[in-house]
Amino acid sequence: MISVSFVFLGYVLSSGLNPDQNPDHLIHYNGDQITAIGTVCSSPSIKNKVQVQIKLTSRKEQERFTKTVGKVLAFLPINSKSAELVNGDKILFRGKLTPTQSSTNPYSFDFKKFYSNKGVYHQAQIESWEYLAKNNGLYRKIANQRKVLLNILATHLPTENEYAVGAALCLGSKEALNDELKNEYASTGAMHVLAISGLHVGIINVFLFTIFSLFKTRDKVWLFVKIVATISLLWFYALFTGGSPSVLRAALMFSFVTVAIYLKSYVTIYNTLSAAAMCMLIYDPNLIFDVGFQLSYTAVLGIVYFQPRIYEWLYFENRALDYIWKISAVGIAAQLATFPIGLYYFHHLPFLFVLTGFFVVPLAYLIISTCMILFAVQAVSTGLAYWIGKVLYGLIWFNNSLIHFISELGKGLEQYFFIGLLGLFILYLSIFIWDRYFKLGELKSLFIGLAILLLLSASGTIQNIIQKDTGFLCIYQIGNERLIDLGIASERATITSLIPDSKKVKYASENLRKFHGVFDFAKQPKHIQSKAQVKLVGDKRVAVLTDDSLPDKEVDVDYLVLSDNYIDIQKALSVFDFEQLIIDGNISNATKNVWIDELVDQNIAFHDVKKDGAFYRVF
């Protein structure tokens, strides 16, 4: 009955957060311009603009302000004023308001779903704004001190890559990371060390626990001091690194764990983690859908359950080596527990994490610990800080060099998999079965585990064989630009008005290209034949009209793509005999309206990419 009651109360709590049931929520506002008052509720992210979340309190309507609730994802021009925004600042702003949009491009990141799970349904391009009240409390002091610490790192880490990794790893500042460095860490399965999360809070927790454990006493006063000091420093670190949701979740989780460890509680660690998760979900039930929340708790559960078993694989008499292996086992356990979720969301299986798992977590522990010591010593002795800075630089350089070496070693070995919820369940089932075999030695578990692995391998092989001969056509929805992919037999032909390797193109198309195994652009593909504006892809004929030149005689095609504003629509319809007509997203509204009138008159069905979303067909 208690369990049923909690489920019911959880349902009531989550239903109460539904914006449709709140008449004051911003979701009911249909205007495209907004003047509103709100409070900054996230740390600013600075890229080509300053990005923050703003929690609204009121908006201007007919010369007066009315109560309004809801959050907006705001984008402000970069300047000294906007860069200084901190959590808690109250501002008055005016800007263009648009609902967050789902991407219709196949296998692409669902922007709308991601932010709706955070309670954000709109984004705003801020045109003008002003402070109503500055938060001059803890957040601003931390933000100012964080800049001081970043300057200290810049002094002791003079090279670009070493500073970028040091700032990301120790202070959660990822602005200096370049794409090449991020790709190397991602391809080797080490990207998690650059994103401040439960791993980093756990490292700080171990560091503090190790220091306080030097004082062997069970005095109640000293025990209370250790608990308060550890938890306070954990939360101070969480706020200092930006106070992201994943870090705050980890701080809460390790606060529970710290109390349990120091008090030597007989309550199991799983109950402790469940208590932390329950507190977070009472605060925000939507967190259950957050990828970071899922990865954080799954990683910690994996560490708690698998780390002792993995640690038993190797034995070192040397205490230093034994300690390094113990830390390495933490990273391997976390990866083992979370890789099915990573595969489900990100489709990337970094086989190389087997290698990086042995050193990336121990080095992260040494780097973060050395960095904390550097910050403490810098205020006392610049001479000693100089040598500690040299040690820190050497550790980061060594880590980057190993990551680069393994990345070069594994080039061409990247594997991409696309699994659904069933595949996710099967992966965790196989982990459970193999664990039973290693724990109990049951031959039945061994045979079942082998059968599941064979089934997964066979399905993957069959899928690769099918995809090798499968052709596809995708006309992406990418604003007012042209981006068209045709692929077959591991080859791809791309027609675009954008820079082919730009971030905008990769964001729209990368996952689909991975799914079909067509990573590299083929200048002269063998399996895609071209004649004028007609492409022959397998047994399908695709006409992509990118200018106003049309053939003189009738041409039979499967797909006709109109992708130029100067096409004579009447002539095009008379020349091409087609099964499906598509109007590309780069066509102006004025031209499109003329075409639509003609198509409606002739009773011809069509797909409008700008209105109906991306056009994707497999054949």
- Identify any residues that bridge with 99 across adjacent strands, giving them in sequence order: 122
> With bands split at pLDDT 50, 70 and 90, how would you rate the model's confidence at 609?
very high
> With bands split at pLDDT 50, 70 and 90, how would you rate the model's confidence at 413?
low
Q: Residue 498 has which token pair?
A: 């954008």
- Identify any residues that bridge with 491 across adjacent strands, giving them in sequence order: 488
- Kindly state the percentage of the chain with pLDDT values over 90: 28
What count of Cα atoms within 13 Å lies in the side-chain half-sphere of residue 395?
24
Distance CA 30, CA 24 (A): 13
Q: What is the mean pLDDT of residues 426-447?
A: 76
Whether 333 has a pLDDT exceeding 80, the answer reads yes
Q: Residue 328 has which token pair?
A: 């390495």
Distance CA 587, CA 581 (A): 14
Nearest Cα neighbor of 471 from 499, 490, 494 is 490
**Tokens 């992406």 belong to residue:** 476
Residue 558's pLDDT is 94
Which carries the bigger pLDDT value, residue 438 or residue 563?
Answer: 563
Distance CA 115, CA 71 (A): 10
Q: What is the mean pLDDT of residues 255-281?
A: 77
Residue 38's pLDDT is 94
- Structure confidence by residue, pLDDT tens digits, 173-225: 887 888 788 878 877 777 777 777 777 787 788 778 777 777 766 677 777 88
Whether 263 has a pLDDT exceeding 70, the answer reads yes
- Structure confidence by residue, pLDDT tens digits, 110-142: 888 888 888 899 999 999 999 999 887 877 888
Whether 465 has a pLDDT exceeding 60, the answer reads no
Angstrom CA distances, 275 to 253, 270, 319, 381, stand at 8, 9, 35, 43
Angstrom CA distances, 582 to 89, 108, 222, 538, 550, stand at 48, 21, 73, 20, 17
DSSP-assigned letters across all residues of 432-453: HHHHHHHHH--HHHHHHHHHHH
Highest mean pLDDT among 10-19, 102-111, 537-546: 537-546
- Kindly state the percentage of the chain with pLDDT values over 70: 91
Is the sign of the CA dihedral 42, 44, 45, 50 positive or negative? positive
> With bands split at pLDDT 50, 70 and 90, how would you rate the model's confidence at 320?
confident
Task: Look at residue 196 and give its three-state secondary structure.
Answer: coil
DSSP-assigned letters across all residues of 21-38: G-TTBGGG---SEEEEEE
65 φ, ψ (degrees, to nearest 5):
-95, 130
- Structure confidence by residue, pLDDT tens digits, 519-570: 766 566 777 888 878 888 888 899 999 988 888 888 999 999 999 999 999 9
> With bands split at pLDDT 50, 70 and 90, how would you rate the model's confidence at 12?
confident
Residue 285's pLDDT is 79
613 Rama class: left (phi>0) / alpha (psi -120 to 50) / beta: left
Q: Residue 593 has which token pair?
A: 């309206």
CB neighbour list of residue 187: distance below 8 Å, 6 or more residues apart: 350, 352, 407, 410, 414
Whether 377 has a pLDDT exceeding 80, the answer reads yes
H helices of 347-442, in order, are 353-356, 360-378, 382-409, 421-440
- Structure confidence by residue, pLDDT tens digits, 468-521: 567 899 999 998 899 999 988 778 889 999 988 888 888 888 888 888 878 766
Torsion of CA 489, 491, 497, 501, to 10 degrees: 130
Query: Hey, where are the domains in the chain?
Result: 23-136, 143-416, 421-467, 472-618
Residue 104's pLDDT is 86
Q: Residue 74 has which token pair?
A: 């705001």
Q: Give helix 160-171 / helix 179-187 axis angle, nearest 10°.
A: 60
CATH superfamily of 23-136: Nucleic acid-binding proteins (2.40.50.140)
- Structure confidence by residue, pLDDT tens digits, 277-305: 888 888 777 778 877 788 778 888 888 88
Q: Residue 196 has which token pair?
A: 């401040």
Mean pLDDT (the chain, rounded): 83
**Whether the Cβ atoms of residue 429 and residue 414 lie closer than 8 Å to each other:** no
Task: Look at residue 280 and give its three-state secondary structure.
Answer: helix
Residue 415's pLDDT is 64
Complete edge-to-edge strand list for the sheet that includes strand 534-537: 528-531, 534-537, 540-545, 559-562, 580-583, 607-608
Whether 63 has a pLDDT exceeding 90, the answer reads no
**Whether the Cβ atoms of residue 524 and residue 539 lie closer than 8 Å to each other:** no
